[in-house]
Amino acid sequence: MMMNHSLKNQFNLRQGSVIEGKWHRNHYVIERELGYGANGIVYLARSQSGPVALTMSDNGLSITSEVNVLKSFAKVQGSALGPYLLDVDDWIYRGKQISFYVMEYIQGPQFLSFIQQKGHAWTDALILQLLNDLEKLHDNGWVFGDLKPENLIVTGPPSKIRCIDVGGTTMQGRAIKEFTEFYDRGYWGLGSRKADPGYDLFAVAMIMINTAYPNRFSKTTGGLNQLMKMINEKNELKKYEHVLSNALQGKYTRAEEMRISMLETIQNNSGRDVSYSQRSASRTRKKVNISRQGFQKGKKRGGVLETVSIFVIISLLYLFYIFGQVV
């Protein structure tokens, strides 16, 4: 994403600067800059209720678009993937009206930093959480778009994956608004930049690959062959070869399908009872030909067992973490 340096110079606010909303009269004290891009600058600020993330821009349409996305996130029941919207207002600065919005400040390490510190065993639980939240987001007609580790924060304990940047979120059927090449299927020649669930699932696969290649790698031949070669060179990825291959080729039409496949792999690798996994696999293979209603019935039947599986995985990993801290 290109950066707007003139915008950055215009809003080069110092620590202690006070932002007062024109309409709601809420006050925010600037602490420091968190980041900036093509459409605005994000600051860490203090409010009466604690730390917040404040985004300001001279592009009112951009602010309106991102606010609408945050409002849509709030309507996704049972998901806390994106930050909560707290305030929307204007600020009069040097005679000019500047639009801004305030959202929850999500604290914690970035996804890759967390994995590097705690170990690859955490990848399973966090990716399962991410897929669960993406399923709900997709059901509400949105695609996250610019999905990458830099936009993912791990909060907790208990550990929970959250997103800090919803600027690339796009309504399904439209062209992706923002993307980062390494996580973009168009860049690798494996699909279009049309917003559909498969676009996000490709990015999830690339995030998993990124955990084994923290510095990423350059595109050479591109396409599926190069990516599968990189997968097969890392043991932590090779066990997910089937899952990653399907995601990279767009064979999953829903995040839930990818999640079921991951659960099967985890259960098989752990030597647990795979009878449920075999039934799930059979359902997954048939999903291309069944109706949405049939899929929802199948998901409901297996929901309890899948939830228990995720809870057990996360609980065990958290116990290992606590034990490591004590030792």
271 residue type, one letter = G
> How far apart, in whole angstroms, are the C-alpha atoms of residue 216 and residue 212?
9
Return all residues near 84 (Cβ < 8 A) that are at least 6 apart. 70, 74, 103, 104
Residue 146 annotated among the catalytic residues of the structure: yes
Per the listing, tokens 């029941």 go with 77
Residue 141 falls in which region: left (phi positive, over 0), alpha (psi -120 to 50) or beta: left
60 residue type, one letter = G
Q: Active site residue: 124, 133, 146, 165, which one?
A: 146
On whether the CB atoms of residues 80 and 72 are closer than 8 A, the answer is no
Would you give the distance in Å from CA 57 to the centre of its chain?
23
**Nearest residue to 204 via CA among 172, 168, 164, 248:** 248
> How far apart, in whole angstroms, are the C-alpha atoms of residue 29 and residue 31?
6
- Which residues are the active-site residues? 146
